Structure 1
């Protein structure tokens, strides 16, 4: 009995322990297991009652059966309860874990969002503070220098006709009050419809641009007209966000200190519109060939439409896009009330000019522009930057009509194209000897293709045009020009290896220096050089205007012109003869005006008396014979007093003629360099012109002067008195001392004797071998 009871107790205790475990588990999961705990409690009570009854009434067998039954029942019940509990417990455990994870995630999310809000608020606050600080500390700076740059224009002597311009940027600043209203309206419609209402910046536009730039990673503008103006006029190009912030702040400042009309006008004067044109005025000329004040509505709409991408939307490049932009501008103008529907309907897409070369130095005028620029910078009155950005008006000394005439006569591509051989170079200039002003010039056909200036930079041999400097040296030394010299050919001279010959090897007998000059006879001049000395001749030439670097007197044929010179130098030197011995400094600039049309510079007229007026007049008197009965008789067709000298270089590598009156000096020179610039024999001229300075150069001179002198008054040469001694200062020059009374007779006999020579010269066609002479006429 005791054993059964112990066994029951043991079984009962096992059941109790299971129930207790269930209760303990239920406590951990009280919210989900209350029902299960109640059921287990009832089961326990029922089991205990059954056990007590069986113990008291049943016998040993019955008790065992009951005990086994209870054991099985209790164990099964306990197992089912535990199974249900375990399932629910696992379910509840998973649910609880899920809830805890969700709670943890929510707890984690909340601090992140909170920090984001805090950081965003701080960012906005700092940004506002920074913006406020920058706003109050930012001052409107001086305008960006290049934005203020106005191109300098160069004019002919009339001060009205433009030759060209200098510019770092092709810009012409104008007063916008002269523009039609639709010009500015078209730009506002295209670029910033809210311009007249906004405060200089468009926050919506900036926001859209920022989003687009971040998401698309492509730059997209959100700038107002005021912002673009701030960038171009004050800052220069801005690309960074910091730069854009500065731009926006400056735009706000500008909107509070400058009225809308000022902002819009400055914007129109600085905006780039393609074809190298900055500003509405330069663009009007580049696209339509008109001033901005004469733009039509259609032209204005086209220019306004292409502002965002002028190079790509230029009608010459992107015609379709240009038309779309054109129509867009007109549509907005109509919508905003700037034009009527009828005006929009009538406005058709305009025609534009063909794009031209942007090189300001192209063509023959490029040489003039380069000379102007060089002259002004050398004066120290202007820097290169001044000329590029200062907006000056430079009035040159160049006469437009005579310049056109000079180009027509001198250019191998013009009148003489059928006569001049290919590759021939021509340099010509006409100047006023009284002040050194350049009237006209031919330096080449195109500066861009050949920048070497044929007047101021190229070199050629002047030939016999050097003889008057020996003549002047002799006059100054005290020799009378009636002194007779041996004019035969050939003649051997001391220190000269080969005998010297005259042109065509003609012998003239005894002739004076008047005839030797008129006929350009070599042998008397070589004899004169022997007495005078080469260095004296060179010094006299340098005093007149030639360069001491090239004319040194070291060449044994100095008097025959074997030293190289510039056309401009020889023109200046002969101006000294024409201007009574006063050497003028050549110049091409007359005066300079600023953008307000006030004179700020005038070229100083510099004259230096290097020869006495009488000596200069005496030398000029000798050169009158060249035209009257010498090597340039064609010039007599001009019907006025003209002096001059022809010249042909050794071996006929260059030919030239210099003619002058007291109020004009003109030079024509031709030479034939090889591909390396070295002199070579000029090919035969076509049209019957011989290879000498008395042929084609004289003809070109006459062609030009015939029309160029129409408005130039006739001016006689001054009288001259020859105070020199026959035979020179010591009586040994030429043929020595001669009886003064017979000088006139000798001269007359020379005139008579020279008739044959004159015929030969007029008929010269250059058929003689070039080796026969050191100089031809």
Structure 2
């Protein structure tokens, strides 16, 4: 080893080394155990301990320094925590196990916080308004005899809310016994019940809700059906609030009225009707027990399948088990002092489950067939009369008793169906397509509407043909001309046009009028009745054409009525004045809004260019049947609200529209229409009881009518042809400009040359009236003798000519079973002034003029392609005496004259919609 490696560095000796916190060890002890020499400085220098080695000395030195430090900075005690967790005086996992004090304190704190939160929430949560669906009710419509007819309105919810007093005690106690036995005493929430339900479900038992009646009512009335914790918590709070604020009776009634029982029945009243056909107040113990079972699961306990209507054995077995369980619970417990006795229980069980009393499923909310027309007609009446508005009806809750007779409604529908099936074949004949009927029957002397036919089906054909179909009525309007002539009289030609009744002459049925074809019509004073020619715009005299130019000279008004001649009535209407004819029609019962303009510029007004509709026509004719007593038609006799309070009871107001002598004279002339062999309604002569009536057909054969009456019933039947929907139109019809609601001619319909009032409409009328016969029909009152004065109108001779060999001028007596057509009655377009012919002519069958709308060269002189009531044949064929009848055009109106007319809001039965 080299020298320089062994050499100590300068100044690095023991004594010269820099202090490093350690001291050199003491010198070794003297040998032999001798005492060490006394040092003079011993007292000043502490004695150092002896160490066996340098390492021991070093460790001793370190320990001395550490000890010195601990003494200088002693450890302070740990501060005590409010919650000693994790626990300081435990180690390991024990530090994280809370003490019993901590557990108890936490539980108490949580309970206090929870109670505070619940209290705050209870104070802050408002009691909401009931759901709209919970308040939605239906309107219940009843037939005239009190049987339930239909349920409608209220958003199509079949519910009628009733007070608890209208729910039987048996039903109340059954639901409490089965659903919530502590109902009358609990606070609205049954925590023990919820616990039992949860425990039962945890054990795999039957699913239970654990909800009280109050909770279920709150859920139905105020909340949604969502299965969420938030909804459940809200349900619990509201249940407590409702139980504290609302009477128990109100809660129970609310629960029974908001619960649904299958078959679309919501509420106990609807359920009682749907399953047993009784009111809720009449439910017995057995029925109540069954309906209670439906609350547990409506679709599981209804013995009948709602879709097929067949018995479901599984459901029936479940329902019977639940039914018996409910009865036994009523026997075991006492509810408000009531308990089903052992004797009553045994008697019910012996009688057995009421499966035979449970009605098969049927749709409560029915609008198809005629029902929709009936309910809407009743709604229109209530709204028009200001009894219940449409908005109020939409909210539902009304019980409406109507005037409708179920049997008569069925009979009218069957009559239309029978004629349609027998005479019409849309697949074989295009002319049989788009055929529609409308009908109505009204009670004379009362005004009650007993039956209507609104169309094939209210869910397919939406407009009500019985109400205001905007179809002209043709010659069925003529009795109002007679009534005006008999009541007010013809005007004095020497006096002003607007003259009082004292200056007029009451007309006799034996008055004579001219029936010539192309007859120039005069004003009451003999001046020409001028109208504007549509082609030239010039003022020309109106000439009334007859079918194919046929005529029979001067005839009496009675004869003109029998054969429905047109020229005499056109002139008679001008003599009396169209305004007075309109007044008579309104007095009889027609609405002013359904009539076209009535003045001396409309000579065809008397021939039926207005559009009253079947109901109003039947009602107006009933005024004649009741010897002049007019009664407004009505369809509702009583209205009550959901609580049973009566809101309206019909009290008719009778009005003597005409003197009885006037009305009875009109009736006598209409009896001749049926009884006279030449009468246009002679096919009804053998119906078997006294009837009177009048046929009517319009221009271009676009509509045909028969309106007639007995002493018990007045009925109007109309027939026309109009498409319902675009998809019903053929390509050819579209090319021809035919659209929805366009009136089309009925030439060749039913295989006949034309349709007249005495053909298919009379068939339907006879089918209905025969079926609806009551057996109480009486003879009509005898008319007065020598009524009125004989008037020679329009230049006629008061000694009438003998009937010539020429055929008569208007509607023939048609045999509805023959293939021969009967004549028609064209009428004028209510929206236009009637046109005139080009030049008058004396020829019986004049050639067509350039402006003659009632003549068609291709059809042998028909009026604009249309003939009047059968082309002059009687009943489709020759009469027994070889003569023909009823061959004249009703109006000779131009351009086919029949338009959609006045569908008008004022033209409906009640003056609205």
- Fold match by TM threshold 0.5: yes
Whole-Å separation in 2 of the counterparts to 1:184 and 1:438 = 44
Q: Which residue pairs with 1:38 in the alignment?
A: none
Whole-Å separation in 1 of the counterparts to 2:530 and 2:401 = 52
Q: Which residue pairs with 1:67 in the alignment?
A: none
Q: Which residue pairs with 1:303 in the alignment?
A: 294
1:391-447 C-alpha deviation (Å, 9 max, x unpaired) = 66543322333232222113x3x5532323343211111112212121222222432
Whole-Å separation in 2 of the counterparts to 1:432 and 1:104 = 94
Q: Residue 392 and residue 7 in structure 1: after superposition, are their counterparts in 2 closer, same or farther (change >3 A)? A: closer
Matched residue count: 692
1:709-766 C-alpha deviation (Å, 9 max, x unpaired) = 33333132342355544335xxxx233463xxx46xx5xx449987998977557515
Q: Which residue pairs with 1:77 in the alignment?
A: 56
Which residue of 587, 592, 595 corresponds with 1:548?
592
Report the Cα offset of residue 229 of structure 1.
3.2
Q: Which residue pairs with 2:443 in the alignment?
A: 432
| Alignment partner of 1:720 is 2:790 | no
Matched position secondary structure for 1:227: helix
Q: Residue 237 and residue 365 in structure 1: after superposition, are their counterparts in 2 closer, same or farther (change >3 A)? A: same
Whole-Å separation in 2 of the counterparts to 1:433 and 1:669 = 19
Tell me, yes or no, if the aligned pair for 2:695 and 2:706 is still in contact at 8 Å: yes
Q: Which residue pairs with 1:120 in the alignment?
A: 110
Q: Which residue pairs with 1:672 in the alignment?
A: 721
Q: Which residue pairs with 1:657 in the alignment?
A: 706
Which residue of 679, 687, 704 corresponds with 1:638?
687
Q: Which has the larger radius of gyration?
A: 1
Matched position secondary structure for 1:576: helix
Q: Could you tell which deviates more after superposition, 487-496 or 469-478?
A: 487-496
Which residue of 373, 378, 381 corresponds with 2:379?
373
Q: Residue 338 and residue 727 in structure 1: after superposition, are their counterparts in 2 closer, same or farther (change >3 A)? A: closer
Q: Residue 536 and residue 248 in structure 1: after superposition, are their counterparts in 2 closer, same or farther (change >3 A)? A: same
| Alignment partner of 1:201 is 2:189 | yes
Tell me, yes or no, if the aligned pair for 1:273 and 1:310 is still in contact at 8 Å: no
Q: Which residues of 2 match residues 516-665 of structure 1 at below 5 A?
A: 516-549=560-593, 550-553=595-598, 555-592=602-639, 601-629=648-676, 630-665=679-714
Matched position secondary structure for 2:686: helix
| Alignment partner of 1:162 is 2:148 | yes
Matched position secondary structure for 2:423: coil
Q: Which residue pairs with 1:272 in the alignment?
A: 260
Whole-Å separation in 2 of the counterparts to 1:384 and 1:209 = 47
Matched position secondary structure for 1:659: strand
Report the Cα offset of residue 627 of structure 1.
0.9
Report the Cα offset of residue 602 of structure 1.
2.4
Q: Which residues of 2 match residues 466-485 of structure 1 at below 5 A?
A: 466-475=477-486, 476-477=489-490, 478=505, 479-485=507-513
Q: Which residues of 2 match residues 381-400 of structure 1 at below 5 A?
A: 381-383=387-389, 393-400=399-406
Tell me, yes or no, if the aligned pair for 2:754 and 2:821 is still in contact at 8 Å: yes
| Alignment partner of 1:489 is 2:517 | yes
Structure 1's unaligned 5+ residue stretches are 1-5, 19-43, 59-69, 90-95, 212-219
Q: Residue 391 and residue 426 in structure 1: after superposition, are their counterparts in 2 closer, same or farther (change >3 A)? A: same
Tell me, yes or no, if the aligned pair for 1:525 and 1:559 is still in contact at 8 Å: yes
Tell me, yes or no, if the aligned pair for 1:170 and 1:276 is still in contact at 8 Å: yes
| Alignment partner of 1:502 is 2:546 | yes
Report the Cα offset of residue 372 of structure 1.
1.9
Which residue of 402, 413, 422 corresponds with 1:418?
422
Q: Residue 84 and residue 315 in structure 1: after superposition, are their counterparts in 2 closer, same or farther (change >3 A)? A: farther
Matched position secondary structure for 1:480: coil
Whole-Å separation in 2 of the counterparts to 1:465 and 1:76 = 144
Report the Cα offset of residue 650 of structure 1.
0.6
Whole-Å separation in 1 of the counterparts to 2:319 and 2:224 = 26
1:104-124 C-alpha deviation (Å, 9 max, x unpaired) = 965899999999778635524
Q: Residue 528 and residue 775 in structure 1: after superposition, are their counterparts in 2 closer, same or farther (change >3 A)? A: farther
1:224-248 C-alpha deviation (Å, 9 max, x unpaired) = 1133235657x57694845641321
Tell me, yes or no, if the aligned pair for 1:617 and 1:718 is still in contact at 8 Å: yes
Q: Residue 194 and residue 52 in structure 1: after superposition, are their counterparts in 2 closer, same or farther (change >3 A)? A: farther
Q: Which residues of 2 match residues 174-193 of structure 1 at below 5 A?
A: 178=168, 185=174, 188-189=177-178, 191-192=179-180
Tell me, yes or no, if the aligned pair for 2:552 and 2:808 is still in contact at 8 Å: no
Q: Which residue pairs with 1:697 in the alignment?
A: 761
Structure 2's unaligned 5+ residue stretches are 1-11, 38-48, 69-74, 89-94, 200-207, 226-230, 333-344, 425-431, 491-504, 522-528, 534-541, 725-739, 824-858, 870-885, 887-913
Matched position secondary structure for 1:171: coil
Q: Which residue pairs with 1:458 in the alignment?
A: 469
1:198-250 C-alpha deviation (Å, 9 max, x unpaired) = 44311245689999xxxxxxxx96531133235657x5769484564132132
| Alignment partner of 1:515 is 2:515 | no
Whole-Å separation in 2 of the counterparts to 1:362 and 1:535 = 42
User: What is the alpha-carbon root mean square deviation over aligned residues?
Assistant: 5.5
Report the Cα offset of residue 7 of structure 1.
8.6
> Could you state the TM-score of these two structures normalised by the residue count of structure 2?
0.62
Q: Residue 88 and residue 663 in structure 1: after superposition, are their counterparts in 2 closer, same or farther (change >3 A)? A: farther
Report the Cα offset of residue 291 of structure 1.
7.0
Tell me, yes or no, if the aligned pair for 2:419 and 2:764 is still in contact at 8 Å: no
Which residue of 172, 189, 213 corresponds with 1:225?
213
Q: Could you tell which deviates more after superposition, 756-765 or 626-635?
A: 756-765
Q: Which residues of 2 match residues 208-219 of structure 1 at below 5 A?
A: none
Matched position secondary structure for 2:559: helix
Report the Cα offset of residue 570 of structure 1.
1.9
Q: Which residue pairs with 1:33 in the alignment?
A: none
Whole-Å separation in 2 of the counterparts to 1:694 and 1:717 = 25
Q: Could you tell which deviates more after superposition, 457-466 or 563-572?
A: 563-572
1:513-567 C-alpha deviation (Å, 9 max, x unpaired) = 1111110112222333454444443343333333333421365532222333322
Report the Cα offset of residue 130 of structure 1.
4.9
Whole-Å separation in 2 of the counterparts to 1:326 and 1:236 = 29
Matched position secondary structure for 2:421: coil
Whole-Å separation in 1 of the counterparts to 2:132 and 2:550 = 69
Tell me, yes or no, if the aligned pair for 1:15 and 1:78 is still in contact at 8 Å: no
Whole-Å separation in 2 of the counterparts to 1:71 and 1:617 = 160
Tell me, yes or no, if the aligned pair for 2:448 and 2:635 is still in contact at 8 Å: yes
Whole-Å separation in 2 of the counterparts to 1:321 and 1:273 = 18
Which residue of 264, 267, 270 corresponds with 1:282?
270
Tell me, yes or no, if the aligned pair for 1:406 and 1:441 is still in contact at 8 Å: yes
Tell me, yes or no, if the aligned pair for 2:681 and 2:813 is still in contact at 8 Å: no
Tell me, yes or no, if the aligned pair for 2:563 and 2:812 is still in contact at 8 Å: no
Tell me, yes or no, if the aligned pair for 1:403 and 1:441 is still in contact at 8 Å: yes
Q: Residue 13 and residue 87 in structure 1: after superposition, are their counterparts in 2 closer, same or farther (change >3 A)? A: closer
Whole-Å separation in 2 of the counterparts to 1:568 and 1:279 = 37
Q: Residue 658 and residue 51 in structure 1: after superposition, are their counterparts in 2 closer, same or farther (change >3 A)? A: farther
Whole-Å separation in 1 of the counterparts to 2:276 and 2:447 = 39
Whole-Å separation in 1 of the counterparts to 2:261 and 2:757 = 53
Matched position secondary structure for 2:420: coil
Matched position secondary structure for 2:422: coil
Whole-Å separation in 1 of the counterparts to 2:306 and 2:211 = 25
Q: Which residue pairs with 1:734 in the alignment?
A: 794
1:339-377 C-alpha deviation (Å, 9 max, x unpaired) = 99x989x98999998865564433312222222222223
